[in-house]
């Protein structure tokens, strides 16, 4: 089947950029991204393309090129489902906060709602593509809903997980390491796989498009994120040992990264990983393992999360201990709130948890992040439900520039590795701060020798 109309349910961090690139590279395909969130769709349709709801380098230019030509953003969900030949499901699958599997299992309620809506609306055969990160064998549940509650039409379920890194999502989409498509081994299933292969083949080399059965595809996504997070927790575990022994974790990472069997990627010691995927996917993996009675497997992967939580807690404890065991009424400036540079995504950012710890110690937190608003900072803290919203408002402030944020601060904590932080006039910042002036570098970003020459007391992870 030649694909000419695609619908994507979910206009978030995955659906929006992925569909924008497909539309740009496949001008012969009408791509419609739908979402019930009217405010989000309005932002995607904003005349000023710089106001689209997701910041990714290069994304606004791609949206500007394709939007209105063959890329459309709409709240007319049922119309888009009815018209499309291929329907991508790209809705949120957060960790459950209730019931069985609370705190570990993926919450699939939005996936089920999508499946039931597709079943109700579809009047002709459809290919339904899992784009959200899902537990193994979710496709089985989706197919059951579609086949048993639909209008007698045929559905093929494909798994096409995303492997995007926020901050480089556009590059990852334009030049992917691989495109993974899983489907049934039946003749119909293989035809559906080929239809999606043909879409990606418009710009992705054939040797980078992998096809598997649907279960392997679903598990590969969880496994990829688990392996990447494991490397971060591994180097962070060693960072604490380095601090005790006098070794430098950066030198250790460089030495082991030169081993071709290991490689240098994801060996940057830091205050810990964040984002929407790593923790959620590992917890999901742990839950799946436990559900099959594989307790040793579950314990192994759960330790990656335990180490990450420990690293964040250790960072906040270091700040308190270094500041003479009290931060009450002291101003501590956070440079960065997003979980990594080049994104405005703050989900599971280390900054949230470090701030929470320090506010519990009655510190006054000042935040500067070039892409994160005060509204978002407060929403992140309120979500923890550690204290009242009013209390959070009194304990945290945000600034439009870093220099103002640092004025009168007792310490600076670097929580995001934004490139601009390296380029600051650190002498000017030092002159505006309380003395002694401390820098706690949670991203190993700054020049230790240069800062210490100015007069800063400097501490980085693992050195």
Instruction: Give the residue numbers marked as catalytic.
Output: 277
In the structure, how many helices (H) and strands (E) does the chain have?
A: 18, 14
Rounded to 5°, angle at Cα 37 from 34 and 39: 110
CA gap 419, 422 in Å, rounded: 6
Please tell me what DSSP assigns to residue 131: -
Q: Could you tell me which of 141, 169, 228 has the C-alpha nearest to residue 20?
A: 169
Q: Where are the alpha helices (DSSP H) in 93-212?
A: 109-121, 138-149, 169-174, 187-200
Rounded to 5°, angle at Cα 87 from 276 and 193: 95
Q: Residue 306's CB: how many other CB atoms inside 10 A?
A: 11
- What would you measure as the largest C-alpha separation in the chain, in angstroms? 74
Q: For the chain, how big is the Rg over CA atoms in Å?
A: 24
Asked whether the beta carbons of 393 and 378 are under 8 A apart, the reply is yes
Asked whether the beta carbons of 220 and 159 are under 8 A apart, the reply is no
Q: Where are the alpha helices (DSSP H) in 258-396?
A: 278-291, 295-322, 350-360, 374-384, 389-395
Q: How many residues does this entry show for the chain? A: 463
Instruction: Tokens for 40, please give them.
Output: 């989000």
């Amino acid at each position: 089947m030649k694909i000419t109309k695609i619908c994507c349910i979910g206009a978030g961090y995955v659906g929006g950029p992925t569909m924008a690139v497909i539309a740009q590279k496949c001008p012969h395909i009408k791509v419609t991204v739908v979402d019930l969130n009217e405010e989000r769709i309005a932002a995607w349709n904003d005349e000023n393309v710089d106001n689209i709801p997701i910041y990714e380098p290069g994304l606004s230019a791609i949206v500007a090129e394709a939007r209105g030509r063959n890329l459309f953003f709409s709240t007319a969900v049922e119309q888009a489902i009815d018209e499309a030949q291929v329907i991508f499901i790209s809705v949120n699958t957060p960790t459950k906060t209730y019931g069985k599997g609370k705190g570990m299992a993926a919450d699939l309620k939005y996936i089920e709602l999508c499946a039931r809506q597709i079943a109700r609306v579809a009047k002709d055969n459809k290919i339904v593509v899992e784009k959200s990160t899902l537990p193994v064998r979710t496709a089985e549940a989706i197919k059951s809903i579609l086949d048993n509650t639909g209008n007698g039409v045929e559905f093929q379920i494909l798994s096409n997980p995303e492997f995007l890194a926020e901050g480089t999502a556009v590059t990852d989409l334009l030049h992917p390491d691989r495109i993974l498509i899983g489907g049934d081994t039946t003749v119909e299933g293989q035809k559906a796989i080929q239809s999606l292969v043909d879409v990606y083949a418009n710009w992705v080399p054939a040797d980078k498009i992998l096809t598997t059965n649907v279960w392997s595809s679903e598990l590969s996504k969880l496994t990829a994120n688990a392996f990447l997070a494991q490397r971060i927790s591994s180097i962070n575990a060693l960072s604490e040992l380095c601090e005790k022994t006098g070794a430098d974790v950066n030198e250790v990472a460089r030495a082991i990264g030169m081993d071709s069997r290991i490689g240098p990627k994801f060996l940057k010691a830091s205050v810990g990983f964040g984002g929407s995927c790593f923790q959620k996917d590992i917890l999901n993996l742990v839950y799946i393992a436990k559900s099959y009675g594989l307790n040793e497997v579950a314990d192994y992967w759960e330790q990656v999360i335990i180490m990450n939580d420990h690293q964040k807690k250790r960072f906040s404890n270091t700040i308190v201990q270094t500041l003479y065991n009290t931060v009450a009424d002291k101003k501590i400036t956070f440079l960065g709130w997003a979980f990594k540079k080049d994104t405005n995504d703050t989900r599971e950012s280390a900054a949230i948890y470090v701030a929470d710890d320090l506010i519990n110690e009655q510190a006054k937190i000042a935040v500067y992040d070039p892409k994160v608003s005060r509204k978002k900072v407060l929403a992140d803290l309120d979500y923890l439900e550690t204290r009242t919203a009013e209390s959070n408002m009194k304990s945290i402030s945000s600034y439009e520039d870093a220099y103002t944020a640092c004025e009168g601060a007792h310490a600076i904590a670097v929580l995001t590795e934004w490139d601009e932080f390296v380029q600051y006039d650190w002498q000017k910042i030092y002159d505006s701060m309380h003395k002694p002036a401390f820098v706690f570098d949670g991203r190993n970003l700054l020049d230790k020798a240069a800062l210490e020459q100015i007069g800063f007391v400097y501490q980085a992870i693992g050195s």
